[in-house]
């Protein structure tokens, strides 16, 4: 009887005891913290085993070791089933990594974004270690506001720009993930795609936006606003000629721009169109017919430039310097000379003011007679040229009706029969009924 009672008690104990724990490497187990040391944690695992977490395996992205206390439940990943002391070797770091993979899968399936804090930089982009998972943000996937735009794609300057982002928090979206290799690639551009699409939907030509200069190139300024980026071409930075965009803005400067073109996500912007063209005021100050004074500052083959005020010059063309023919402006003017002239034309688009000193000069009889003779001489030259182009008598006939073809060769004319005439260029042919008609017209065989 005692033996039966003992067996019954043993069976009851086995039935009531917790299941045997089989801690397999790679398995995630929950335990209770029973000891916290300077660099070690001990976990009670279901009352049948003790787990140990120590050294680098205590460090995870959630800083769990810093906040955990005795009695708290804790999940850790099994590294070894049992060490020399009979303890299950476990890791918070690897548990956190497993959680991270699960979290990354959830982010992808739900199309959500996450935060990326840059820890390193190389010429290809920015890197971070997220729970032991190598995470890469390529340069090409940076949002416009962070993209390192540099002249001539200088790798040294790109690297310098990227290093400034170390410690910066980016909002990104996962674009590729490789668990076997332990790597993921993220994109800031993709994370902002929806915001950019919404901004583009409501954007229209003529809109005025407050933005920031995100990059400078030889051909203009890149400006970002509302997740979008556009180009202020060098011709749209300021009125007048712009030699170097850096003279007007620096990266990071806040600027106001006007949208002047929308082509997909390619935006054309302007800064100068938000200000009045100073040449409109110039045109008001220098109307056609006004007498002005200025100093001769420069000669050109075609005339002389006169400074009217700061940054405003007028041109006196050779033909407007004097009533007589002038081939070189230095014949009648000297650099620095004060002159009086009359405004004869103004072109706002071309930034030009046409002046004339001739218009203010009296003309004497001798000069007037000389000009008259020059005009008559020119008219005679034109008349002679026209006569050379046209024969004295010319009958236009179809080729099949012509018996003779006259061909102009040099200054002489020759009559040829139609067969030979076919070999002559069309523009040099004159057709006649017969040889007699050709002779009447002054063409000799």
Lowest mean pLDDT among 76-90, 98-112, 259-273, 354-368: 354-368
The total number of structural domains that make up the chain: 5
Give percent above pLDDT 90 in the chain: 37
Tell whether 51 and 82 lie within a shared domain.
Answer: yes
Q: Quote the tokens at residue 152.
A: 């001539």
CB 145 within 8 A of CB 214: yes
Q: Average pLDDT for residues 362-366, to the nearest whole number?
A: 73
Tell whether 92 and 72 lie within a shared domain.
Answer: yes
Tell whether 156 and 215 lie within a shared domain.
Answer: no
| Spatial distance between the Cα atoms of 443 and 424, rounded to a whole number of angstroms | 16
Q: Is 371 within a domain? A: no
Q: What is the pLDDT of residue 409?
A: 47
Q: Is 251 within a domain? A: yes
Give the domain-ending residue among 274, 301, 332.
274
The answer for residues whose C-beta is within 8 angstroms of residue 28's C-beta and 6 or more apart is 75, 76, 77, 78, 95, 98
| Spatial distance between the Cα atoms of 327 and 341, rounded to a whole number of angstroms | 19
Q: What is the DSSP string of 67-78?
A: H--TT-EEEEEE
Q: Is 382 within a domain? A: no
Tell whether 157 and 244 lie within a shared domain.
Answer: no
Tell whether 187 and 197 lie within a shared domain.
Answer: no
Q: Quote the tokens at residue 163.
A: 């290093």
Residue of higher predicted confidence among 143 and 439: 143
Burial of 409 (0-12, 13-18, 19+ CB in 10 A): exposed
CA distances from 19 to 9, 13, 32, 49 (A): 18, 12, 17, 11
Tell whether 93 and 9 lie within a shared domain.
Answer: yes
Q: Average pLDDT for residues 183-212, to the nearest whole number?
A: 88
* pLDDT of 73 above 90: yes
CATH code, domain with 25: 2.40.50.140
The answer for residues whose C-beta is within 8 angstroms of residue 219's C-beta and 6 or more apart is 233, 234, 245
* pLDDT of 393 above 90: no
Tell whether 257 and 332 lie within a shared domain.
Answer: no
Q: Is 383 within a domain? A: no
Q: Is 376 within a domain? A: no
pLDDT band per the 50, 70, 90 thresholds, residue 145:
confident
pLDDT band per the 50, 70, 90 thresholds, residue 14:
low
Q: Quote the tokens at residue 36.
A: 């916290």
The answer for residues whose C-beta is within 8 angstroms of residue 160's C-beta and 6 or more apart is none
Q: Is 180 within a domain? A: yes
Q: Is 412 within a domain? A: yes
* pLDDT of 425 above 60: no
Tell whether 179 and 231 lie within a shared domain.
Answer: no
Tell whether 198 and 187 lie within a shared domain.
Answer: no
The answer for residues whose C-beta is within 8 angstroms of residue 80's C-beta and 6 or more apart is 25, 88, 89
Q: What is the pLDDT of residue 233?
A: 94
Phi, psi of 177 (to 5 degrees): -145, 130
Tell whether 12 and 78 lie within a shared domain.
Answer: yes
pLDDT band per the 50, 70, 90 thresholds, residue 428:
low
* pLDDT of 139 above 60: yes
Tell whether 338 and 266 lie within a shared domain.
Answer: no
Q: Is 140 within a domain? A: yes
Q: What is the pLDDT of residue 307?
A: 93
Tell whether 204 and 151 lie within a shared domain.
Answer: no
Give the domain-ending residue among 222, 240, 274.
274
CB 358 within 8 A of CB 405: no
Lowest mean pLDDT among 200-214, 334-348, 411-425: 411-425
Q: Which domain holds residue 433?
A: 399-440
* pLDDT of 420 above 50: no
Lowest mean pLDDT among 119-123, 215-219, 359-363: 359-363
Give the domain-ending residue among 36, 66, 97.
97
């Amino acid at each position: 009887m005692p033996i039966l009672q003992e067996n019954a008690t043993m069976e009851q104990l086995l039935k009531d005891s917790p299941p045997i724990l089989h801690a397999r490497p790679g398995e995630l187990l929950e335990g209770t913290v029973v000891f916290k040391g300077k660099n070690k944690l001990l976990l009670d695992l279901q009352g049948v085993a003790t787990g140990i977490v120590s050294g680098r395996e205590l460090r995870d992205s959630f800083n769990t070791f810093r906040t955990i206390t005795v009695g708290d439940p804790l999940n850790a990943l099994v590294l070894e089933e049992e060490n020399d002391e009979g303890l299950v070797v476990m890791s918070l770091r690897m548990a956190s990594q497993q959680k991270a993979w699960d979290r990354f899968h959830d982010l992808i399936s739900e199309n959500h974004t996450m935060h990326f804090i840059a820890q390193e930089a190389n010429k290809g982009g920015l890197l971070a270690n997220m729970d032991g998972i190598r995470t890469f943000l390529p340069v090409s996937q940076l949002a416009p506001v962070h993209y390192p735009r540099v002249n001539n794609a200088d790798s040294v300057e790109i690297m310098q720009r990227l290093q400034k982002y170390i410690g910066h928090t980016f909002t990104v979206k996962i674009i590729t993930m490789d668990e076997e290799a332990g790597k993921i690639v993220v994109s800031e551009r993709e994370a902002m795609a929806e915001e950019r699409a919404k901004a583009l939907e409501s954007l229209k030509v003529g809109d005025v936006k407050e933005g920031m200069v995100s990059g400078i190139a030889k051909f203009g300024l890149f400006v970002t606003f509302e997740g979008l980026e556009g180009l202020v071409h060098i011709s749209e930075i300021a009125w007048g000629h712009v030699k170097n965009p850096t003279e007007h803005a620096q990266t990071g400067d806040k600027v106001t721009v006007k949208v002047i073109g929308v082509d997909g996500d390619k935006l054309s912007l302007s800064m100068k169109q938000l200000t009045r063209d100073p040449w409109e005021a110039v045109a008001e100050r220098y109307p056609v017919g006004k007498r002005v004074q200025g100093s001769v500052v420069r000669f050109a083959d075609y005339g002389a430039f006169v400074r009217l005020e700061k940054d405003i010059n007028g041109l006196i063309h050779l033909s407007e310097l004097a009533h007589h023919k002038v081939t070189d402006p230095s014949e009648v003017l000297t650099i620095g000379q004060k002159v009086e002239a009359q405004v004869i034309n103004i072109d706002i688009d071309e930034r030009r003011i046409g002046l004339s000193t001739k218009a203010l000069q009296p003309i004497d009889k001798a000069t007037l007679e000389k000009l008259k003779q020059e005009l008559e001489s020119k008219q005679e030259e034109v008349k002679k040229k026209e006569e050379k182009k046209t024969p004295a008598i010319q009958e236009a006939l179809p080729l099949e009706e012509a018996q003779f073809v006259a061909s102009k060769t040099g200054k002489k004319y020759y009559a040829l029969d139609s067969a030979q005439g076919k070999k002559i260029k069309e523009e040099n042919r004159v057709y006649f009924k017969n040889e007699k008609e050709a002779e009447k017209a002054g063409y000799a065989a």
